[in-house]
Structure 1
Amino acid sequence: MNQDVHNFIAQHELLKGVDTVIVATSGGPDSMALLFYLWEMRKPYNIRIEAAHANHQLRGQESDSDEQYVADFCGEYGIPFHTTKLDIVGFATKNGLGTQAAASQLRYQWFDELLKGRPNSCLATAHHGDDQTETIFMTMVRGVNLLKETGINEKRFLENGFVIRPFLGITKEEIEHYCSRVGLFPRSDTSNSSMKYTRNRFRHHLMPFIKKENPSIHTHMQRYHEWQRDDQQFLMELAEEALEGITLQKSEQSITISIEAIERLRFPLQRRVIHLILRYLYGKNSPSSTSIHIEQVQRLLNRHEPSKELHLANGLFAYLSYDCCHFSLKPPKRIQQPHVDLSVPGEVDVATGRFTSYYLETSDIPKEQKYMTFLDADKLIFPLSIRGVLPGDRITGRGMTGSKKVSRLFIDKKVDASFRGAWPLLTDGDGEVLWVPFLHRSKSTDITDKTKRVLVLVFTPNDEFFLFHDYKSITGGAF
């Protein structure tokens, strides 16, 4: 065993730059073996050994006896000893957690506190190769997100330091044999035989069969975990680069991506890009399983329908808008532009921006842009108004014979159906549509060589407008 552990520590450089190792010691065979092994090897490794015992207070006097056993052992060998009592039941009840999850969270919080202000120290836990195999199978059977790590890392980073697992290369049987050989008499935790815990059911029912089929399964599983982790990290790095390239807009509560761009990615990268989006928006509230959500989003993207909507877990929405897919923690807005009069000259705020109007001499007319239009003031029928589209609206557009339905214009320009009611239209006193900003202008009030007065209209969009559209393609990069 000694040589296998030493090789594992060297291979993964677990003690590089470390001068003090705090061993998490429960009093059971695994942790006592680790404490004694590192204590025996303290001089060859040039490290100082300390012990840390967390009393979970779940087994009454038995828990207190475990604490006293570790304290006595450390006293006999002169090992500095840290201890704490954790309110597992109270923490689990308050946070809606199971006992095991609550114990793990509190335990690692305390470990992190022990490492605070000690830059050359680390904490060691006695997770071994059988734990690794159990964890991988438990994770796979549970059916959690397939892009998440399934096993136990040989090194885990905390806020104030890191945790090492030197025993991941050996089995429980080897540990028990080591305890017997060196004369250790560890404590026995009666809860380890309880079938109410998932790990115990895997340990007692599944592991004997697996180890009979392959006695070296722990070696294979450790290699499997390390290779899978390296592959995942590499693919995630590629996915992060890809996401940056396909993102059109991003805020704390929403991300908009190009559907055409994500469709050019291979499926493995698509999955990871979607995973990154969900992880970013969910944050700490991420559901325990998102593999189904990833597949749902992929199906949404591959339907090739201009307008579709998907309700995901925890209030997250995904919805299509032609070539855009929006992910938002807020439901899609159904904005409607009300009828408002436009002062000339003057300004008026509308649902998606601001209109500004002023007069110019014909000699001062600048180059026309998509966000502005020039009207022959003497051809206008006042008052001018801004309103949303109405059934039957048509525009006598420049460069066309006859007129065109505004609704058809929206379809041709790929304006999302949910946003068409918010798109502002400039109309005259007779209700004729003179201008649909960024999309089309009427020719009925065109400037000619006979024009004496020019009315300039400028539309400045706000964030609500840009939320639904790739502003560069619509505005020509003007805003």
Structure 2
Amino acid sequence: MRDKIMTFINEHQLLKPYSTILVGVSGGPDSMALLHILKTLQQEWNLTIIALSVDHQLRGDASKTDLLYVQDMCEKWNIECVGTSVDVETYKATYGVGTQVAARTLRYQFFKEQMEQKKADYLALGHHGDDQVETVLMNLVRSSNPRTLSGIPVARPFSSGTLIRPMLCMTKNDIEAYCQSVGIHPRHDPSNDETDYTRNAFRKQIVPLLKERNPNLHLSIQHLSESLQADEAHLAIETENMIKQTVRFAENKDKAVFKIDQFKLYSIALQRRAYHLILKYLYNEVPNDLSYRHESIFLTLLNSQKSNSKVDFPRQLVLRKSYGTMTFYFWEASETFDGDIPFNIPGEVMLPNGDRFVGKVTDEPDKQTAQRYICHASQLSTPLHIRTRQAGDRMRWKGLNGHKKIKDIFIDAKVPHHLRDTWPIVVDGSGELIWLTGLRKNCSSAEDHTHGPYIQIDYFEGET
């Protein structure tokens, strides 16, 4: 196995001698095998190796024991180890995301901090060939974007250095056999045996069936992944060149204009990519509710015989076709919400741009999301109001010491300047800011109470 990984490292030029390499280590077989193999290279390659281990606090004492195990093995192998604990549950409640997303975000934040502090050249992670198979298959099922089929990259820029995955050429069985051969007794996470998570369902039920047909499926998928990544890299350069030739952006990147006839001289493959690149420039961070349906709308508008048309996209973005010209722009403040509207619960509020807030009282609230606010009724002072930001606005939330300025929240979330003054905020009867829509919530979670009533507010963006 070591020889195969060394060949893979050399083929992809993943490591250089005299480098500092951080290794993400959970205590499982993948990361322990990776750490051990890199340890065998340390003297020959003059590597500085530092293990990073994160306790996500999701399995109580077992999670803590995993961290202690990694620290103990690193001490035996004479490897520096930096461990930390992160609060996944608080992050989930604050941002309205799932467990896997919250854990990954906090883990990579820690990795980034350590890359900068240690001035490291590489971050090595233990993803293997079976992980690659699962990722490509999952993306195939849930996405219509061909770029997602490229899967997990072997290497990519990360923080001050490069993130590398030297074990994408190996299977899970290869790794477990290696651990056994060198006397490593890794930790086992029982959540990996469950099929509730999508990835585990693919791992346990689908991939084994495909491997019956092709035992080297991981190598085939890895070859596909690398081929697609190379193709995408070339097309990305061509798309950048197309954008330079056809699209004019406003100085602050809140508007893009192009001549339709000139744009359509390029292939449909580049047109699609140019569309996505324009959105990336305009939005800073493309909204989650932007889907393939919007791409279809854009292409239909582009090829329509109508001289004048207008289509609304998420976050107040407008596409306007007018006599051979296509313009992307954001609604002016005068076209969007700017005021203070009473919000009675139960009830509904419609904003000028078509966005809606729907509130209800319930004993069985739905699942918390970024577009949903849930709080025990006893924790809120009524009546509620929906308004835009005011000078000096601040918020507080669980896990935060004191208050934070709305301005700073917008900066952290990279919200474009032209959206900040019209961003809807839900305020309670005492003037407390309880929900900066889609970004921050100040509320007690449903789990903090044994029974209702709860107030649930859902936010719906205007129809496109």
- For 2:101, the equivalent position in structure 1 comes to 101
Q: Match of 1:319, as an amino acid?
A: R
Report the RMSD for the aligned CA atoms in angstroms: 1.9
Asked if 2 retains the 8 angstrom alpha-carbon contact of 1:18 and 1:122, the reply is no
Shift in Å at residue 195 of structure 1?
1.7
Q: Secondary structure at the match of 1:272?
A: helix
Corresponding residue number in structure 1 for 2:216: 216
Give TM-score, length-normalised by structure 1: 0.67
- Kindly state the Cα deviation for residue 88 of structure 1 after the two structures are TM-superposed: 0.9
After superposition, residues 237-252 of structure 1 pair within 5 angstroms as: 237-251=237-251, 252=253
Displacement of 1:280 after TM fit?
A: 1.3
Deviation at 1:332, TM superposition (A): 11
Distance 2:77 2:16 in 1: 25
Q: Which residue is equivalent to 1:127? A: 127
Aligned-partner Cα distance in 2 for 1:321–1:333: 22
The secondary structure found in structure 2 opposite 1:41 is helix
Q: Tell me how far 1:295 sits from its aligned partner.
A: 2.0
**Which residue does the alignment assign to 1:352?**
none
Q: Which residue of 1 aligns with 2:47?
A: 47
TM alignment of 1:234-383, pairs within 5 A:
234-251=234-251, 252-287=253-288, 290-330=291-331
* Residue equivalent to 1:35: 35
The 1:140–1:274 alpha-carbon spacing in structure 2 relative to 1, beyond 3 Å, is same
Query: 1:221, CA displacement in angstroms?
Result: 1.0
Aligned partner of residue 314 in structure 1, secondary structure: coil
For residues 104-153 of structure 1, give each alpha carbon's deviation from its aligned partner in whole angstroms, at most 9, with x where no partner exists. 11111111111114445322110000001101111121115334564111
Please name the residue that 1:16 is paired with: 16
Distance (whole Å) between structure 1 residues aligned to residue 328 and residue 151 of structure 2: 30
Distance 1:332 1:95, change over 3 A: closer
Length-normalised TM-score, structure 2: 0.69
**Residue in structure 1 matched with residue 65 of structure 2 by the alignment:** 65
Contact 2:18 2:45 in 1 (8 A): no
State the alpha-carbon separation in 2 of the partners of residues 273 and 333 from structure 1.
Answer: 30
Is the contact made by 1:248 and 1:258 (CA closer than 8 Å) also made in structure 2?
no
Equivalent pair of 1:135/1:150 in contact (CA under 8 Å): no
User: Is 1:139–1:150's contact at 8 Å kept on the other side of the alignment?
Assistant: no
| Letter in structure 2 aligned against 1:20 | T
CA contact (8 A) 2:128 2:169 kept: yes
- How far the C-alpha of 1:241 sits from its partner, in A, is 1.1
Question: Aligned residues: percent identity?
Answer: 36
**1: CA distance, partners of 2:5 / 2:62:** 31
- Is the Cα–Cα contact under 8 Å of residues 247 and 258 in structure 2 kept in the other structure? yes
Deviation at 1:282, TM superposition (A): 1.9
Q: CA deviation at 1:31?
A: 0.7
- What displacement does 1:301 show? 0.7
Deviations 1:68-109 (A, max 9, x none): 111111111211110000111111221121111111111111
Counterpart in the other structure of 1:202:
202
2:55/2:86 contact within 8 Å kept: yes
Larger-Rg structure: 1
More divergent stretch after superposition (140-149 vs 8-17): 140-149
The count of residues paired between Structure 1 and Structure 2 equals 334
Counterpart residue number, 1:89: 89
Counterpart Cα distance in 2 of 1:262 and 1:17? 47
Would the alpha carbon gap of residues 147 and 316 (structure 1) be closer, same or farther in structure 2, given more than 3 Å must change? farther
1:5 is aligned to: 5
Residue type matched to 2:6 in 1? H
Q: Report the CA distance shift for 1:93/1:50 in structure 2 as closer, same or farther (over 3 A).
A: same
- Alpha-carbon distance, 1:296 to partner: 1.3
CA apart distance, 1:297? 0.5
> 1:289 Cα shift?
5.1
Q: Name the structure, 1 or 2, with higher relative contact order (CA <8 Å, separation 6+).
A: 2
Q: Could you list the per-position Cα deviations for residues 314-357 of structure 1 after superposition, in whole angstroms to 9, with x for gaps in the alignment?
A: 322111111101111217999xxxxxxxxxxxxxxxxxxxxxxx
Change (3 A) 1:17 1:323: farther
Distance 1:100 1:173 in 2: 24
Residue 247 of structure 1, CA deviation: 1.8
**Cα–Cα, structure 1 residues 289 and 249, in superposed 2: closer, same or farther, change >3 Å?**
closer
Q: Give the direction of change, closer, same or farther, for the CA distance of 1:266–1:183 in structure 2 (3 Å limit).
A: same
Kindly provide the amino acid, as one letter, of the partner of residue 310 in structure 2: E
What's the counterpart of residue 56 of structure 1?
Answer: 56
SS in 1 for 2:70: helix
CA contact (8 A) 1:17 1:120 kept: no
Name the counterpart of 1:469: none
Q: Secondary structure at the match of 1:319?
A: strand
Distance in 2 between the 1:295 and 1:309 partners? 14
Cα distance in 1, alignment partners of residues 332 and 138 from structure 2: 36
Cα deviation, residue 287, structure 1 = 2.7
CA distance change for structure 1 residues 268 and 285 in 2, over 3 Å: closer, same or farther?
A: closer
Q: Secondary structure at the match of 2:94?
A: helix
Distance between the aligned counterparts of 2:266 and 2:63, measured in 1? 54
Task: Look up the equivalent residue of 2:240 and give its one-letter code.
Answer: E
Aligned residues of 2:140 and 2:149 also touching (Cα < 8 A):
no
- 1:156 aligned partner: 156
Once residues 250 and 68 of structure 1 are traced to their aligned partners in structure 2, the CA distance between those partners, rounded to angstroms, is: 54
Q: Secondary structure at the match of 2:256?
A: strand
Is the CA contact (8 Å cut-off) linking 1:144 and 1:290 kept in structure 2?
no
- The residue type equivalent to 2:220 in the other structure is H
**Shift of the alpha carbon at 1:226?**
1.1
Q: Distance in 1 between matches of 2:322 and 2:70?
A: 63
Stretches of structure 1 that go unaligned for 5 or more consecutive residues are 335-479
Q: State the alpha-carbon separation in 1 of the partners of residues 18 and 156 from structure 2.
A: 15
Are the equivalent residues in 2 in contact too, given 1:147–1:272 (CA < 8 A)? Answer: no
- 2:109 paired with 1:79: no
- Partner SS for 1:162: strand
The whole-number CA distance in structure 2 between the counterparts of 1:42 and 1:104 is 28
Q: Secondary structure at the match of 1:186?
A: coil
1:266, CA displacement in angstroms?
Answer: 1.2
Query: What residue number does 2:456 align with?
Result: none
Tell me how far apart the structure 1 counterparts of residues 333 and 305 of structure 2 sit (CA, whole Å).
19
* Secondary structure of 2:284's aligned partner: helix
Q: Is the 8 A contact 1:116 1:160 kept in 2?
A: yes
Secondary structure of the corresponding residue to residue 163 of structure 2:
strand
Give 1:285 deviation, angstroms: 3.9
Offset of 1:167 from its aligned partner?
A: 0.4
